């Protein structure tokens, strides 16, 4: 994940991969059930963050 973020930056694919990693399918929503508020908030916050900061956060988690 850190390599993808390093080379591509914060793109849609990276956001979706992070959400898939940390939230279950039920929480992320499906066709019949909407996305939960926490996932919407995380998606919005990931859009506001710079990729270098998110990369540092992921490296701290993995370290």
The predicted pLDDT at position 38 comes to 86
Check residue 26 and give left, alpha or beta (phi > 0: left; psi -120 to 50: alpha). Answer: alpha
CB under 8 Å to 27, separation ≥6 — which residues?
36, 38, 39
pLDDT digits (tens, 9 = 90+) for 4-31: 777 777 788 888 888 888 888 888 887 7
Burial class of residue 7 in the structure, from the number of CB atoms within 10 Å of its CB (0-12 exposed, 13-18 middle, 19+ buried):
exposed
pLDDT class of 49 with cuts at 50, 70, 90:
confident
């Amino acid at each position: 994940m850190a390599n993808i973020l390093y080379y591509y930056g914060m793109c849609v694919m990276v956001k979706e991969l992070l959400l898939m990693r940390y939230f279950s399918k039920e929480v992320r929503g499906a066709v019949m059930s909407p996305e939960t508020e926490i996932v919407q908030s995380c998606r919005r916050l990931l859009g506001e963050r710079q990729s270098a900061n998110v990369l540092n956060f992921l490296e701290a988690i993995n370290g």
